[in-house]
Structure 1
């Protein structure tokens, strides 16, 4: 036995997964090989050390929120078409068809054909959706001066957003093949659509900052911040944007909906538990204060107050908890 094979078997033997005959062969090799003997001793020491630390079960509130988010994500998936279900059934049962190679081949050909048709229909639907979105922007109201988007071109990105002082008018410059420009009120559906596109523009932090700031201001002002539109864009920015400034603005915009929207509440709880910026975590605690009597929220606050690594976060959590009595 060479040392390379012995190293592989040392790992299996340490976890009781090596057959007895190979264990004896490994022992004989280790007797005459100091390097492999040291390798086994180090692995056994590491295994003993790891066993000394019990596995910590995840917080029940975290598990519950994760399941809720998973269910929401699954519910948002479009229903499968008949040929997709058929193809999945073929794949699931393919292992049982080894005794019938001809039938398996025929089913494989049918499944491939159905997948090709499905891919074509999906591409057609994506193209129609993109064209419809740009057509909606082109048909929205705009001042006579600005150039409206053409229905034949997709919006590539947003290059600048400027709000006129003391007004509801926003100038949005966006790019297709060449830069385009549209002007309208913050209540204009075309302006809102462009702002939501800009909030996910990975190429420009400044554009994301401006767009999320305007969307958050609309939400704080109570201007039709629906969950399926602006509110969702802010939750995405809060969870995934790399800029602390953008995440903080998104959090501020979601504040009016913490009490009424469980999805928003979960997003704020995630920010409290996971965000790397202490300012965002402290703001999340403040936003959760009106709903901290909720069992799940109170449990998270108690966990943070007792075990968080940041002393300031622990202090703020304790202050919030102390302002609301516990109902027995």
Structure 2
């Protein structure tokens, strides 16, 4: 999967900082012990010099094997003494070892397996997180929270058929979204938000995004028109870069706003279907907001397309009057 140079750099910087912090913390622990036990400091200094002594023994000639074995045995004895001092005084034997965030690659981002260098899962997570941050740079994620959502804009008059007011309905929707965000994981159920313009679909989906991001998950928010535009640009640029599509499939939560408002094209329909289908096969959640009814979605896309979405998503119906009009 391809990423921009800026994403690679940002991810590498994250891992480098983790590694640096782990090694600095290990040095602080060493200094703490050295201050209490000068003998440990003396032993550590001698251990660090053992490599130089071995090299000198080799250069000096003579019975190199015997001399190297003596130096090795002395080195092991000094290491054992350091560990004994540590454990006798309540420290773990590995107290001087850096505590890396990722033990598999020691925060390098890569490790060797069977003679082959492979990218570590921590590097993959950092790349996705940085790619999400880059894509969301201009998204209005900070503008909408659960705290700023006001249910008082919804009418409390009870519908005689539904035996429910818009206020009651939207209270249930609001509570569902809050609970969804609180319990979110990478395999949470998808959501299809339907309703007219200005009823809070974007606000609640962004409120979910804010809470999910706080949990450390990678979230991408995009309007359908901007998403199609970016995918078209990548597809027709002939640079074989599929990073945009891959990130949309790989991120922990994808939010597509205003589905149905994009310029209708076969390319857009096929791209959306491929994204939805790929995420659903991987059991990854997606939140879709639309002003269209199920029938209108079928007319814009296809019955198979809509069936795939509706069959795998919790449908939330938004009702009421345009809040933006009321505010004006």
Query: Is the TM value for this pair above 0.5?
Result: no
**Greater relative CO, 1 or 2 (CA 8 Å, sep 6+):** 2
Give me the TM-score of the superposition, normalised by structure 2. 0.25
In terms of fraction of residues, the more strand-rich structure is: 2
Give me the TM-score of the superposition, normalised by structure 1. 0.25
